[in-house]
Amino acid sequence: MNIANVLDAKGLACPMPVVRARKTIKEMETGEILEIQTTDKGSVADMSAWAKSGGHEMVDQKEEAGVFTFWIKKG
Amino acid sequence: MSETKKTTIVLFSGDYDKAMAAYIIANGAAAYDHEVTIFHTFWGLNALRKEEPIAVKKGFLENMFSKMMPRGADKMGLSKMNFAGMGPQMIKQVMKKHNAMTLPQLIELAQEQDIKLVACTMTMDLLGLKQEELLDGIEYAGVAAYLADAQEGNVNLFI
């Protein structure tokens, strides 16, 4: 996977992960992949809902040692 | 993405916790690329007050009101468990621990995200609040302006 940008949103509480994600993805090109790391449990549901609404594609996600990682392709 | 969606929130409450909920939803909606308006009326106007005292001429009753109402978002009380001001101190400590944003930070973020902050001019008159006492960069309007936004709103909340 070709990751164009990594956003470290670890330790941030709602609503910051989506606020930062939107800011970051805005400056990216369509088709590029953004990796986002979070620790907020709500971000699992938040990120997929946010990606879908924005027309982006959730390529993959995982949880490891309390850190959630998402790969979102800009639509 | 299709056309821009709209979110409008009426912030009537002057409680710290309720205002926090309003501002979190507003900032979230802005992250959803919505055009967001928060219409502040009655006690919700206190969230827009500047912290420092501003000298403005007012009538006796209006002066009393300004003295009794919280001057700025940080001074607002909780809707539950306020304990004469102890509650907000406690919740602010817990928020710090969980890295949650404070209400003043959320308001600043809202302005950064170009959320339209509107003060209701009719209730400003009732509570004796003047434009000089409220934050810079906000708008002033009445019910018709709110409805113009709300009738096209995809999310409309009253808090």
pTM of the model: 0.91
Nearest residue on chain B to A9, judged by CA atoms?
A: B99
Residues of chain A positioned with their CB less than 8 A from the CB of B28: 14-15, 18-19
- B28, B31, B100 ranked by CB distance to A13: nearest: B100
Candidates B156, B146, B152; CA nearest to B5 is B152
- A12, A15, A22 ranked by CB distance to B33: nearest: A22
d(CA B80, CA B50): 24
Nearest residue on chain B to A18, judged by CA atoms?
A: B31
Residues of chain A positioned with their CB less than 8 A from the CB of B3: none
Give the pair of three-digit tokens for residue A47: 């990120």
Which option is the CATH number for A3-73: 3.20.20.140, 3.30.1360.170, 3.40.190.10, 3.30.110.40?
A: 3.30.110.40
Q: Chain A: nearest CA to B108, how far in angstroms?
A: 13
Q: Respond yes or no: is residue A26 known to be catalytic.
A: no
Per-residue pLDDT of chain A in tens (75 residues, 90 and over written 9):
899 999 999 999 999 999 999 999 999 999 999 999 999 999 999 999 999 999 999 999 999 999 999 999 999
Which option is the CATH number for B6-158: 3.10.20.740, 3.40.640.10, 3.30.470.10, 3.40.1260.10?
A: 3.40.1260.10
What's at A68, amino acid-wise? Answer: F
Provide long-range contacts, Cβ within 8 A and 24+ apart, for A38-43: A38/A9, A38/A10, A38/A12, A38/A67, A38/A68, A38/A70, A39/A10, A39/A11, A39/A12, A39/A66, A39/A67, A39/A68, A40/A9, A40/A12, A40/A13, A40/A14, A40/A68, A42/A14, A43/A9, A43/A14, A43/A17, A43/A18, A43/A68, A43/A70
Q: Is B31 within 8 Å of A21 when comparing Cβ atoms?
A: yes
Tell me the mean pLDDT per 10 residues along chain B, length 159: 86 98 97 96 97 92 92 96 95 94 97 97 95 96 94 96
CB B26 within 8 A of CB B38: yes
- A11, A14, A53 ranked by CB distance to B32: nearest: A53
Nearest residue on chain B to A51, judged by CA atoms?
A: B32
DSSP state letter for B134? B
Going by their DSSP bridges, the two strands A33-38 and A67-73 should be labelled as: antiparallel
Active-site entry in A6, A14, A19, A67: A14
Q: What is the ipTM of this complex?
A: 0.83
d(CA B9, CA B110): 13
